[in-house]
């Protein structure tokens, strides 16, 4: 069944203007792609907050640099005269200076809390900042998975070494234990399942496309302990001619249903990102039982189509608030955060049975 | 100390002519990059054997295809008229036919056995053939690590999904248990250490270079069980202006010495591959203690410089035959197998202490 998820009428619920920058030299240009979890009677978000140097002086360019010298690291700005010959600004996403590459913006993670799921109190300071050599270009796109009373945060770490995925553990969203890099480069969109399947934990991951020109696919891996991953299997690929023809990746943490694991994934053709659903076997989640033929969410609202690089709806977290009710938090236009309201039963109706061949 | 490893005077010890092809339609074009292990009083090799269709008829082109329909899989040849418009032969490494990509050759693994380490009896039939969807372009470059009375074989699996690394377990080199993909794409040069460090197994791996233009580096991962890997750390990178400036990867299985883990790695500048040494902390092998400044082996012999793509010495296995004596088996010119004779003490002398900065 084709649907379009119902948006909250006052979307976006978080915009860059709502988020205090981490330093006076920086301005927030994105507050989006948030992980989400139900913590007691609150919904806690980990927002991806993208910042860039304020361009107050047109003769100078600010280069955001992560300083790892202090505990926890922080983002500082180096100001460079715009006319120095070692400066190359031809790519809007990056800055080339003295032969080294910098991103024009750097992301950190920021906690926001809400009782109703729509109105969030955003922490005034960064929660998770780049703190290791794997993170000097920023930390992005967190997923929060509740397991055995703790919350595990898998996120994308970006550095000159590539894009890889570390893991954090927290019980209070104040103190975070760093558990190391669980997926080496090039990988992103790692989403841990909230419970074991046949005794093992599972996770989506998304290696980069191959040297043979294949599109980036979603893989599934298993783990005995959440820290070490193996038994990697390609789970599902793009579908030629469809809305998910270009590249796909895991989105929100899967929801356990009587029919199996229900997950929302993202896919793009060019720079247009949509969301769809997939249903996986409860005890062997590398088996795809069904998949939505049409997207469940497409970028149609003005704030979803305002992205610098394209029209985007992109989820890192959906919260099951009651037995059936689901709130889907999603990045809109790579800039703001929206929420859509749906239910387990509605999402399950979007799943069409697929043969193993079609799903591949 | 700069050295050049002493070659066996009758190198190469294995050539393509020594290896019976796996079918009458195929010819062996490479017998190289062999894993090696001491098994009882024998040295056992797993040769990488590359085959391509025999070009008996100049009007037709053979496309090597792996058929997975039977248990264990096998390589078959599809013959196509050279003048069909859907055929593109412009890249010598690959064939484009009806919009699908094929490699011009496919590799399998073949056992060879020797008592003296120099004269090998090569099995008449393939030992490990491509058998899963991850292997349809071939299985390559095995490393054999003896652990607790068994032998673990990590090797490169090539398919349209990319280049990834499965693991096999054997006790007799006749029956092999498949343990799944332990490193997802794009990754290769996975080398398992033969013993635990601080209670965990370790492995070299070599993810592809990053989107930010970094060179491919060697990473180290840890595992509780050899099947699941985590705590990934970038171990060592290329060194600008040196013989290992272009890209590097793990080579032979590390040797335990009183000074730490001693390993031989490979590196290339352009298409010229050399070998060097690195010394790692015994209980924390993500710490580099030393590294050779100069290569220990460079492609100087005619059979090492005869490669189609470049001059190559490349090792997948070195055997410590007595307390000090080491035989280094190495692929020469991407075509034949040679052996070089050295010792633990000689290799240790090549290692120069490096600061953490230089090693990175």
In contact, A327 and A6? CB cutoff 8 Å: no
Binary contact (B101, A184; C-beta < 8 A): no
pLDDT at B352: 95
Nearest CA in chain B to A137: B212
d(CA B158, CA B188) in angstroms, rounded, equals 10
- Give the rounded percent of residues in chain A with a pLDDT score beyond 90: 83
The reported pLDDT for the residue numbered B72 is: 67
DSSP states of A90-140: -STTEEEETTEEEES-EEEEEEEEESSSSS-EEPSS-SB---SGGGTTEEE
A234 or A56: whose pLDDT is higher? A234
Distance between CA atoms of A96 and A279, rounded to whole angstroms? 44
Note whether A208 contacts B208, CB cutoff 8 Å: yes
- Please state, in angstroms and rounded to a whole number, the distance separating the CA atoms of residues B38 and B194: 13
Is any Cβ of chain B less than 8 angstroms from the Cβ of A1?
no
pLDDT reported for residue B21: 97
The pLDDT of residue A358 is 46
CATH number of B6-353: 2.115.10.20
Question: Cβ B232–A187 below 8 Å, yes or no?
Answer: no
Q: What is the mean pLDDT of residues A77-102?
A: 88
Cβ of residue B83 closer than 8 Å to a chain A Cβ: no
pLDDT at A70: 60
Residue A46, preceding bond cis, omega within 30 degrees? no
The length of chain A, given as a count of residues? 360
Q: What is the pLDDT along chain B (360 residues), one digit of tens a residue?
A: 679 999 999 999 999 999 999 999 999 999 999 999 999 999 999 999 999 999 777 889 999 988 887 566 788 899 999 989 999 988 877 899 988 888 889 999 999 999 999 999 999 999 999 999 999 999 999 999 999 999 999 999 999 999 999 999 999 999 999 999 999 999 999 999 999 999 999 999 999 877 776 789 999 999 999 999 999 999 999 999 999 999 999 999 999 999 999 999 999 999 999 999 999 999 999 999 999 999 999 999 999 998 777 899 999 999 999 999 999 999 999 999 999 999 999 999 999 997 644 444
Find out whether A6 and A301 touch, Cβ atoms under 8 Å: no
Lowest mean pLDDT across A80-84, A209-213, A262-266, B30-34: A209-213
- A228/B contact by beta carbon, under 8 A: yes
How large is the ipTM? 0.95
Predicted confidence band at A145 (pLDDT cuts at 50, 70, 90)? very high
CB nearest to B228's CB, from A181, A209, A224: A224
**Cβ atoms A344, A326 nearer than 8 A:** yes
Q: What pLDDT does A72 receive?
A: 66
% of chain A surpassing 70 pLDDT? 97
CB-based contact A211 B186, cutoff 8 Å? yes
Contact flag A222-B213 (C-beta cutoff 8 Å) = no
> Whole-model pTM above 0.80?
yes
What ranges do the domains of chain A cover?
6-353
- Kindly tell me if the per-residue pLDDT of A194 is higher than 60: yes
List the structure tokens of B150: 């068994």
Alpha carbon of residue A171 to chain centroid: 20
């Amino acid at each position: 069944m084709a649907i379009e998820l119902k948006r909250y009428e006052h979307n976006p619920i978080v915009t860059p203007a709502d988020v205090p920058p981490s330093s006076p030299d920086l301005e927030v240009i994105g507050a989006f792609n948030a992980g989400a979890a139900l913590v007691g009677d609150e919904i806690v978000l980990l927002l991806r907050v993208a910042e860039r140097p304020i361009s107050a002086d047109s003769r100078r360019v600010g280069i955001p640099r992560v300083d790892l010298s202090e505990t926890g690291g922080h983002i500082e700005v180096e100001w460079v005269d715009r006319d120095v010959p070692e400066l190359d600004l031809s790519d809007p996403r990056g800055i080339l200076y003295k032969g080294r590459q910098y991103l024009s913006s750097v992301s950190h993670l920021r906690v926001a809390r809400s009782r109703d799921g729509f109105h969030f109190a955003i922490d005034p300071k960064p929660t998770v900042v780049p703190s290791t050599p794997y993170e000097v270009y920023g930390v992005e796109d967190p997923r929060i998975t509740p397991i055995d009373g703790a919350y595990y945060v898998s996120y994308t770490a970006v550095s000159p070494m590539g894009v890889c995925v570390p893991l954090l553990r927290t019980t209070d969203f104040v103190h975070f234990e760093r558990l190391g890099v669980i997926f080496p480069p090039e990988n992103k969109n790692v989403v841990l399942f909230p419970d074991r399947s046949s005794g093992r934990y599972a996770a989506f991951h998304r290696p980069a496309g191959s040297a043979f020109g294949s599109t980036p696919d979603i893989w599934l891996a298993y783990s005995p302990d959440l820290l070490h991953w193996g038994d990697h299997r390609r789970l599902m690929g793009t579908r030629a001619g469809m809305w998910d023809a270009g590249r796909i990746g895991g989105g929100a943490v899967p929801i356990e249903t009587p029919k199996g694991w229900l997950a929302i994934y993202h896919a793009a053709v060019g720079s247009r990102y949509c969301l769809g659903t997939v249903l996986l076997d409860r005890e062997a989640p590398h088996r795809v039982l069904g998949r939505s033929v049409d997207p469940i969410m497409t970028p149609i609202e003005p704030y979803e189509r305002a992205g610098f690089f394209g029209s985007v709806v992109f989820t890192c977290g959906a919260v099951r608030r009651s037995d059936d009710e689901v709130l889907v938090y999603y990045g809109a236009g790579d800039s703001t955060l929206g929420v859509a309201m749906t239910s387990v039963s509605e999402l399950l109706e979007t799943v069409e049975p697929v043969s193993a061949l079609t799903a591949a």
